[in-house]
Chains A and B, each alone.
Chain A
Amino acid sequence: MAIDLSQFHDVFFEESFESLDIMEQNLLQLPTESDTHPVEPDSLNSIFRAAHSIKGGSATFKFDSVANFTHTLETLLDEMRSGRCQLNPEITNTLLQSVDCLREMLTILQNNKTPDESLYRPLNDELSQLLKIYTSETGTSAGIEPDSGTDTGTDSDKDIINAGQSNREQTSENTTSLKQNNIQNLSQNAQISGQYWVITFKPQPQILRTGNEPLRMFRELAELGELTVEANTDSVVTLNCLEPEECLLQWTLLLQANTEEYMIEEVFEWVMDECELSIESVAEQVFSERLLSIVKQSTVEPSGSRNPLIHSAQQLTQKSDKAKATKASSQNSPSIRVNTEKVDTLINLVGELIITQSMLGEIGEDFSINKLEKLKDGLSQLESNTRELQEHVLQIRMLPISFVFNRFPRMVRDLSVQLEKKVTINITGETTELDKTLMEQIGDPLVHLIRNAMDHGIELPEQRLNQGKPETGVINLSAYHQGGHIVIEINDDGAGINREKVKQRAVQNGLISADSEIPEEQLYALIFEPGFSTAETISDVSGRGVGMDVVKRNIAALGGTIQVSSTEGSGSSITIHMPLTLAILDGQLIQVGDQTYIIPLTSIVESLQLKAKDIISVAGNNQVFLLRDEHVPIVRLYQSFNVMPKQKQITDATIIVVEGAGNKVGLMVDELLSQQQVVIKSLESNFIALPGLSGATILGDGTVALIIDVVGFIHHYSRKTKNRVIAA
């Protein structure tokens, strides 16, 4: 029954790309020419293991080009790992190129095409060349020429290559000759064939300790032909000295089979190091005599102790039943790999839920009012079970942010070459977890911000030296959890934002008036306005002022905010706050008229009641109030949403100060209700998205409550007010 191995290709590609990522990350951690700290053996081991894994998989699934390439790569890595080949930037670069090349090859193969030899041949040659140069430089003799054919050397260096060649032959020939190949390696004089074989087998006493059972080997021999087994018990000691775990028997085996010596050797392949073995091809007459003597002995003493191990060949050959295996169906939907611990936790939680449910069921069976307390207990238990279950289910979608961060060291490295700048990136908090969906969407904005920091932030080396800064600029990228949020920070020690230029540009774009004095924070916020760029030269790295507004919009779409701070001459810092997941939020329930709305707690600054004297009327029918030093506009939610309120007077209502994308407004509502976690449901599944709302949720009584998207709300419902305040 042929098994279609192509069903495992998807998994192979997935894991190979992962391995390549691992190789890349670790390669980037290898020391560069400037620093001299020793190579982390762990990094090299990881790189080696990743290459090794791709090699194993590609050979198995017959992607020969990849298998051969990774073999050369692996050989070089092994030399490095053993210290025979010294690491230097040239090698690191070639290795990085190899990673890229493999990625390309695998992508081509994934699309069911064959990579052209011109794609990988030059690099493969370069790797072989490196192998030759560096191994000979460090003193090991190695005339390594991958194509040189018949190398039978036995020193360990050559062995590796040699093994590789046989490996290559196997894969390229695409045959089953592999088994023979191995056997030939171990048999000095193969190809002896015959019909009558006398085999003496003297295993060492500890042979059983490796799980090798002589009986099984005899059974295998019996599959070759007619086998007669004679045990030699001469070495068996008396019972009181007997070590039951030691094998003290020795055997003579008479095999009548038309076979070759290597076939017999193969049976003993695994115990060659633990036995004395002789295999003789004998004449028919000799064989018959030996056979006769054994049979005679066994008939003389039919139940004797000398020959309990004479078995007929057929008896030993039993085959296990074949069961029908269910075919695993290949799947194309995006998958998520979940830590087994997380799954185990879920199973435990469901177990608890079932216990609670059965307890409640029992109470419900014949309920009487005196069981009320029990019912309450049960329900609160149910609540806590449900909450825990919910938390852990959401955990399944959480992945470490390293999935996104990992690409940056390489990007920074490549960009610094392109920009002729010296930059190092320090990453911290890469294990911080984030929802998979958010992960997929935060990548591009971060790429943009880091490119920006490198392009516009970090100065050229001479410039930095002139300013008394170290030649190499530093970008710090970090992530951590804060409350229900993930915070991502990008700091650089570059030039910082030029306030005057920002101001000039803002005046040019008509965002502010020339004589306006606006606070630093708000000034910097202007860089996120569309079409805003102050970079003097336009480079192909971060383009032409396109982006920061897009970055901000993308982050806002994920429910996040972005802030920038900067000190001219010594760098900028960008801080992104994002929810951990899009599926759930901590909400404040509020009431306006007969409607209940939910405001994300993370958007709420504070809530307060205003007195008449706190309210300042501004042009038209607008009011603001002073919150510490800031003028905050009052937005009547009932007006914005066109509902009938209970309270129309500001002084009777409650003001909730919310903040979105750096703007604060005071939302006027009838009253505050409770706070609770809500599951966010999209309005779009059956309807359309509405301005100022991020979705809806279902409350405990089954009714729907709308969730206010504070950023969108401010954008859509209080834009005019906002502009006026900035200009004031």
Chain B
Amino acid sequence: MSNQLIEVPESKANNDLQDDIFDGEQFLGFVVNNEFYGINILSVQEIRSWQACTQLPNAPEYLAGVINIRGDIIPVIDLGIRLGMNAVKPNKETAIVVLNVIYSGTHKKIGAIADSVFDVFEIDPDNIKAVSETIGNIDDKFVKGLCQTQGKTLVLLNVEQLLDLTEVANHYAKVVAL
């Protein structure tokens, strides 16, 4: 298969900061439109290189489509559009982060397209600052908090909010009612 697959435990092991005593949370850092974001590593199942998605008819713009991961059909969102910016332009750095999310009690997998993935950070929960106002065009429901690490400001995302299935269902109800 041409899609190279980065196993998460590996990237975890490569992380110099890893320390068993440290009880902070681990976050996967990635870039979207030159900004830095983080997602709790416990939600991340795997990271894949970009692959073409099959479009879903009449889908909201941020929904790039569906892909096949080992026989599973998984919806993929474009984090660029979702976070209020430009769509991600695929190149060889582009990654699809596969996330495990729980929607009303059932486990679902979703993919999130990012410009690139760069590292795994350990972040002390005390260093996560709440966001009082909207940052740029990002809807604040997506943002869990902000944090400074290695000289970068990371926006930590709420994975559950990235794809809201009720929102999608409502969207389709409008489409077919037209």
Taking the complex as formed, is B21 at the interface, i.e. its CB lies under 8 A from any CB of chain A?
Answer: no
Task: Report A672-725 residues with CB < 8 Å from chain B CB.
Answer: 681-683, 685-688, 690-693, 696, 698, 702-706, 716-717
Is the CB–CB distance between B55 and A643 below 8 Å? yes
Is the CB–CB distance between A595 and B74 below 8 Å? no
**Best-surrounded residue of A643, A681, A693, A702 (most CB of chain B within 10 A):** A702
Chain A's closest residue to B106 (CB) is A685
Compute how far the CA of A309 lies from the CA of B72 in the bound complex, rounded to whole angstroms: 73
Is the CB–CB distance between A686 and B172 below 8 Å? no
Chain B positions within 8 Å of A704 at CB level: 54, 65-68, 73
Option from B55, B73, B110, B172 in Cβ contact (under 8 Å) with A595: B55
Is the CB–CB distance between A691 and B172 below 8 Å? yes
Q: How far is the CB of B33 from chain A (nearest CB, A)?
A: 25
Using known A-B contacts A685-B108, A696-B66, determine if residue A690 contacts B172 with beta carbons closer than 8 Å: yes
Compute how far the CA of A690 lies from the CA of B56 in the bound complex, rounded to whole angstroms: 9
Q: How many residues of B contact A (CB 8 A)?
A: 25
Compute how far the CA of A690 lies from the CA of B109 in the bound complex, rounded to whole angstroms: 17
Taking the complex as formed, is B5 at the interface, i.e. its CB lies under 8 A from any CB of chain A?
Answer: no
Contact mask for chain B residues 72-94; partner A; CB cutoff 8 A; 1 contact, 0 none: 11110000000000000000000
Option from B55, B57, B165 in Cβ contact (under 8 Å) with A687: B165
Taking the complex as formed, is A640 at the interface, i.e. its CB lies under 8 A from any CB of chain B?
Answer: yes
Compute how far the CA of A368 lies from the CA of B57 in the bound complex, rounded to whole angstroms: 45
Q: How far is the CB of B60 from chain A (nearest CB, A)?
A: 11
Is the CB–CB distance between B66 and A687 below 8 Å? yes
Chain B's closest residue to A708 (CB) is B57
Q: How far is the CB of B167 from chain A (nearest CB, A)?
A: 10
Compute how far the CA of A18 lies from the CA of B74 in the bound complex, rounded to whole angstroms: 42
Chain B positions within 8 Å of A687 at CB level: 66, 73-75, 108, 165, 168
Taking the complex as formed, is B176 at the interface, i.e. its CB lies under 8 A from any CB of chain A?
Answer: yes
Option from B52, B58, B66, B172 in Cβ contact (under 8 Å) with A641: B58
Taking the complex as formed, is B71 at the interface, i.e. its CB lies under 8 A from any CB of chain A?
Answer: yes
Chain A positions within 8 Å of B168 at CB level: 687-688
Compute how far the CA of A3 lies from the CA of B168 in the bound complex, rounded to whole angstroms: 55
Taking the complex as formed, is B13 at the interface, i.e. its CB lies under 8 A from any CB of chain A?
Answer: no
Is the CB–CB distance between A696 and B73 below 8 Å? yes
Option from B58, B65, B68, B72 in Cβ contact (under 8 Å) with A685: B72
Taking the complex as formed, is B175 at the interface, i.e. its CB lies under 8 A from any CB of chain A?
Answer: yes
Taking the complex as formed, is B135 at the interface, i.e. its CB lies under 8 A from any CB of chain A?
Answer: no
Contact mask for chain B residues 101-134; partner A; CB cutoff 8 A; 1 contact, 0 none: 0000000111000000000000000000000000
Compute how far the CA of A682 lies from the CA of B176 in the bound complex, rounded to whole angstroms: 20
Chain B's closest residue to A683 (CB) is B73
Using known A-B contacts A686-B108, A704-B68, determine if residue A691 contacts B175 with beta carbons closer than 8 Å: yes
Task: Report B130-178 residues with CB < 8 Å from chain A CB.
Answer: 165, 168-169, 172, 175-176
Is the CB–CB distance between A702 and B68 below 8 Å? yes
Q: How far is the CB of A637 from chain B (nearest CB, A)?
A: 9
Q: How far is the CB of B70 from chain A (nearest CB, A)?
A: 10
Is the CB–CB distance between A698 and B176 below 8 Å? no
Is the CB–CB distance between B74 and A717 below 8 Å? no
Using known A-B contacts A686-B109, A717-B176, determine if residue A703 contacts B54 with beta carbons closer than 8 Å: yes
Chain B positions within 8 Å of A643 at CB level: 55, 57
Chain B's closest residue to A719 (CB) is B176
Is the CB–CB distance between B54 and A705 below 8 Å? yes
Option from B1, B52, B109, B176 in Cβ contact (under 8 Å) with A691: B176
Using known A-B contacts A686-B109, A690-B172, A703-B52, determine if residue A698 contacts B57 with beta carbons closer than 8 Å: no
Q: How far is the CB of B158 from chain A (nearest CB, A)?
A: 19
Contact mask for chain A residues 285-312; partner B; CB cutoff 8 A; 1 contact, 0 none: 0000000000000000000000000000
Is the CB–CB distance between B57 and A690 below 8 Å? yes
Option from B1, B55, B72 in Cβ contact (under 8 Å) with A686: B72
Taking the complex as formed, is A621 at the interface, i.e. its CB lies under 8 A from any CB of chain B?
Answer: no
Q: How far is the CB of B3 from chain A (nearest CB, A)?
A: 9
Option from A681, A698, A702, A706 in Cβ contact (under 8 Å) with B56: A706
Taking the complex as formed, is A642 at the interface, i.e. its CB lies under 8 A from any CB of chain B?
Answer: yes
Chain A's closest residue to B107 (CB) is A686
Contact mask for chain A residues 631-664; partner B; CB cutoff 8 A; 1 contact, 0 none: 0000000001111000000000000000000000
Compute how far the CA of A698 lies from the CA of B57 in the bound complex, rounded to whole angstroms: 17
Is the CB–CB distance between A642 and B57 below 8 Å? yes
Using known A-B contacts A685-B108, A686-B108, A688-B168, determine if residue A595 contacts B54 with beta carbons closer than 8 Å: yes
Chain A positions within 8 Å of B68 at CB level: 698, 702-704
Chain B's closest residue to A698 (CB) is B68
Compute how far the CA of A692 lies from the CA of B110 in the bound complex, rounded to whole angstroms: 22
Is the CB–CB distance between B57 and A681 below 8 Å? no
Q: How far is the CB of A190 from chain B (nearest CB, A)?
A: 67
Chain B positions within 8 Å of A640 at CB level: 57
Chain A's closest residue to B74 (CB) is A686
Chain B positions within 8 Å of A693 at CB level: 57
Option from A596, A686, A692 in Cβ contact (under 8 Å) with B57: A692
Compute how far the CA of A287 lies from the CA of B57 in the bound complex, rounded to whole angstroms: 100
Using known A-B contacts A642-B58, A690-B172, determine if residue A698 contacts B165 with beta carbons closer than 8 Å: no
Compute how far the CA of A595 lies from the CA of B57 in the bound complex, rounded to whole angstroms: 10
Is the CB–CB distance between B110 and A706 below 8 Å? no
Compute how far the CA of A692 lies from the CA of B57 in the bound complex, rounded to whole angstroms: 9
Option from B57, B67, B71, B108 in Cβ contact (under 8 Å) with A706: B57
Chain A's closest residue to B173 (CB) is A691
Task: Report A41-98 residues with CB < 8 Å from chain B CB.
Answer: none
Chain B positions within 8 Å of A705 at CB level: 54
Q: How far is the CB of A705 from chain B (nearest CB, A)?
A: 7
Q: How far is the CB of A660 from chain B (nearest CB, A)?
A: 15
Is the CB–CB distance between A716 and B176 below 8 Å? yes
Is the CB–CB distance between B172 and A681 below 8 Å? no
Q: How far is the CB of A638 from chain B (nearest CB, A)?
A: 10
Q: How far is the CB of A670 from chain B (nearest CB, A)?
A: 15
Chain B positions within 8 Å of A692 at CB level: 57, 176
Chain B positions within 8 Å of A642 at CB level: 57-58
Is the CB–CB distance between B71 and A641 below 8 Å? no
Is the CB–CB distance between A688 and B175 below 8 Å? no
Compute how far the CA of A696 lies from the CA of B172 in the bound complex, rounded to whole angstroms: 17
**Best-surrounded residue of B54, B165, B175 (most CB of chain A within 10 A):** B54
Is the CB–CB distance between A641 and B54 below 8 Å? no
Q: How far is the CB of B112 from chain A (nearest CB, A)?
A: 13
Chain A positions within 8 Å of B74 at CB level: 686-687
Chain A's closest residue to B72 (CB) is A686
Q: How far is the CB of A283 from chain B (nearest CB, A)?
A: 83
Compute how far the CA of A682 lies from the CA of B106 in the bound complex, rounded to whole angstroms: 15
Chain A positions within 8 Å of B67 at CB level: 704
Compute how far the CA of A595 lies from the CA of B108 in the bound complex, rounded to whole angstroms: 25
Q: How far is the CB of A560 from chain B (nearest CB, A)?
A: 22
A-B contact pairs, 22 of them (CB 8 A): A595-B54, A595-B55, A643-B57, A681-B71, A682-B73, A686-B108, A687-B73, A687-B165, A688-B169, A690-B57, A690-B172, A691-B176, A692-B176, A696-B66, A698-B73, A703-B68, A704-B54, A704-B66, A704-B67, A704-B73, A705-B54, A706-B57
List residues of B whose CB falls within 8 A of some A CB: 1, 52, 54-58, 65-68, 71-75, 108-110, 165, 168-169, 172, 175-176
Which 7 A/B pairs are nearest by Cβ-Cβ distance?
A641-B57, A704-B54, A716-B176, A687-B75, A686-B108, A691-B176, A698-B68
Given contacts A685-B72, A706-B56, 9 further A-B contacts (CB under 8 A): A595-B54, A640-B57, A641-B58, A643-B55, A643-B57, A681-B73, A691-B175, A692-B176, A698-B71
